[in-house]
Chain A
Amino acid sequence: MLSRRLMLGAVLAVTTSTGAWAQGNTGPIRIATAGPMTGQYAAFGSQMRAGAEQAVADINARGGVMGRQLVLEIGDDACDPRQAVSVANQLSSRGVRFVAGHFCSGSSIPASKVYAEEGVLQISPASTNPRFTDEGGWNTFRTCGRDDQQGQVAGRYIADNFKGKKVAILHDNSAYGKGLADETKKALNAAGTQETLYAAYTPGERDYNALVSRLKGAAIDVVYVGGYHTEAGLILRQAKEQGMNLTLIGGDALVTNEFWQITGAAGEGTLMTFSSDPRKRASAAEVVQRFRAKNIDPEGYVLYTYAAIQIWAQAAAKVNSLDPKRIAEAMKTQGPWQTVLGEISFDRKGDVTVPDYVFYVWKNGAYSEM
């Protein structure tokens, strides 16, 4: 009995200390990327993997971090929250002290609790749900925007570009739509413009004529819709039928070709907020070429993952330590960091201070960056 307990203790001691060895003073440093490597979002997982592999290769080629090489681990959560937790436990027990991940907000949030306990720093390249950093501890960061930052960008834009026009704000009561509409309203009001009408509509309906006539009765020029493309498209289509010249502004949910199929010509000039294409930025030019040379298109979240690893490496070099808490503190206070996405700084929560949402506009059945 006694010997068995001793054995168990010995095994435990060995497994816990492997972590310490791996991150000792010499030898390679283990970092990881975790996301949906399998399942229906596997396309995004492979984007993250491509970005992380290239970032690690590039950093190693330049001598690594603090003179030590990086080794990349891959975690597969399949966008399943439960699997994300077990991946998080697995990675932390293998001595990983930094994770660029996860992809889905639903995975990133529960995994972040495990990482916080185990002392792992986490930078998500893709999880936009505000809760990720709002509820997150010392360890949560992201290189993408937040759903509510879109609203701020939109609100400020409306206040600046539609001075003296009558503005209506509509939403569909969903977490996404209402969040977006409320943030837009906040930013708009802060800029000194008061909306004429603020209303909710029921998603899934097809007849919004009564609502449209109401907009017409209030002589609305600009309408912000926090909601999805079907309803926004129908509202615009029915406004056109009623002889209105309405400018519609929405969030990233309108960036789909179905929107134009619903509105037809009525969709001309519709604006929406969406991330700018990072491949076109000057800061990314060199890295993009390296990806293309390997026949990889650095689309979607590839560069966001690349940037996450760059920031961690720079911050670690700056504090000259691998202690995740010290790195996290430095990331928040000692920015900006030079990345493929451009300069990035973090606020106290770990969100990027300058959200990279830009406006896209619908013209002739196609959308493009404004």
Chain B
Amino acid sequence: MAYALQQLINGISLGMIYGLIAVGYTMVYGIIGMINFAHGDIFMISAFIALIAVILLSLGGLMDGPAAILLVLVISMAITALYGWTLERVAYRPLRGSFRLAPLISAIGMSIVLQNYVQVSQGARVKPLEPLVPGGIEVMRDGAFVVQFSYIQMLIIAVTLVVLAVFTILVTRTPLGRAMRACEQDRRMAALLGIDTDRTISLTFVIGASLAAVAGTMYLLRYGVIDFYIGFLAGVKAFTAAVLGGIGSLPGAVLGGLLIGLIETFWSAYFSVQYKDVAAFSILAITLIFLPTGLLGRQEVEKV
């Protein structure tokens, strides 16, 4: 019981990070119908920006307390958002009228460009960061087994929930959100009705990138080891989460992320550790056989 509870805590905090990245995939897919393969690398860049921010703040003697961590988060979100905007402007907008595969290839190209850019500018070795948020609380005790809920895990869960709540309100309750949903349904019609679709798409990338930055910062604080290649694995897992939850659906992305995190964790907990990815992807495949649009995906209505 205590063991399962500990693994549940592990699974949720891992799944939250996947969910945050998955939201970026799903938003972009929803609005322009393409898979942004460079999204994992945007996440990677945000972790590097957060690390640089931590180092600069430490040099200034300011890296102390929750306010400093919040500042790191804001810096990372702001600069990563700029990367997201630039990415769309440079690599995707010029190809908007082109055939379907063009932006996809462009995305793969950008993924390689971003990876190599970080590899060249920051070096290929792993960058470590000592734990900034140590400690935790004892949730329960079962004999010698102590269920530990660390502060960083709490921080990840709390920040993820707050950020997701804010962005859900943004999408459902604001004029920008309405414009985004309009573009998602029918971009040409939205344009005819006076919505600046280019601006709306840009803002979607900005939002997706800043969510990835939240994930990147949390990742850095939690694991403390980053390199230019982390975006690939995290991106693949998050993309899987988005597909599992139903690509195009915001709550689906979060649900998918949580599920992937939990499946991986519980498989490692009770079965073989090295086959956890096999387990996660098998469940994805089985789900897609019975629910081709994912768990919360809508049936696509072909407009005639």
Contacts and interface: CB of A to CB of B under 8 A. Distances in A.
Interface of A: 173, 199-202, 204-207, 209-211, 213-214, 216-217, 219, 230, 233-234, 237, 241-243, 258, 261-262, 264, 266
Contacts of B225: 206, 230, 233-234, 262
B128 A206 contact: no
26 contacts: A173-B274, A200-B272, A202-B274, A202-B277, A206-B219, A206-B225, A207-B223, A209-B13, A209-B14, A209-B265, A210-B264, A210-B268, A211-B273, A213-B6, A214-B273, A216-B146, A217-B6, A217-B145, A230-B126, A241-B150, A242-B148, A243-B146, A258-B125, A261-B129, A264-B131, A266-B131
B224 A242 contact: no
B145 A216 contact: yes
B145 A209 contact: no
Contacts of B117: none
Residue among A205, A206, A219, A230 with most chain B CB within 10 A: A206
A258 B269 contact: no
Interface in B113-144: 125-126, 128-131, 134, 136, 138, 144
B11 interface: yes
Q: Which DSSP category, helix, strand, loop or mixed, fits chain A's interface?
A: helix
A234 B223 contact: yes
Given A200-B274, A211-B273, A213-B7, A241 B128 contact: no
Interface of B: 3, 6-7, 10-11, 13-14, 125-126, 128-131, 134, 136, 138, 144-146, 148, 150, 152, 219, 223-225, 229-230, 233, 264-266, 268-269, 272-274, 276-277
A121 B16 CA distance: 61
Contacts of B7: 210, 213
Contact of B273 (A199, A204, A233, A261): A199
Contacts of B150: 241-242
A261 B10 CA distance: 23
A202 B230 CA distance: 14
Contacts, number: 89
A216 B147 CA distance: 9
A264 B14 CA distance: 22
Given A202-B274, A242-B150, A213 B10 contact: yes
A201 B136 contact: no
Nearest to A201: B273
B277 A210 contact: no
B233 A205 contact: yes
A217 to B, nearest CB: 5
A201 B268 CA distance: 10
A216 B6 contact: yes
B219 A258 contact: no
A211 B275 CA distance: 12
Nearest to A213: B6
Contact of B128 (A205, A217, A219, A258): A258
B230 A206 contact: yes
B153 to A, nearest CB: 8
A159 B195 CA distance: 73
Contacts of B224: 237, 262
Residue among A200, A204, A209 with most chain B CB within 10 A: A209
B130 A264 contact: yes
A207 B219 CA distance: 10
Contacts of B131: 237, 241, 264, 266
A19 to B, nearest CB: 46
Contact of B148 (A207, A211, A243, A261): A243
A286 B293 CA distance: 77
Given A202-B277, A234-B225, A214 B128 contact: no
B104 to A, nearest CB: 26
Nearest to B135: A241
Given A213-B6, A219-B145, A243-B146, 18 more contacts: A173-B274, A199-B274, A200-B274, A206-B223, A207-B10, A207-B223, A209-B14, A209-B265, A210-B269, A210-B273, A210-B276, A211-B268, A213-B269, A216-B145, A219-B144, A242-B148, A243-B136, A262-B128
B130 A261 contact: yes
Contact of A204 (B11, B233, B274): B233
Contacts of B274: 173, 199-202
B6 A242 contact: yes
A173 B265 CA distance: 20
Contacts of A258: 125-126, 128
Residue among A211, A241, A262 with most chain B CB within 10 A: A241
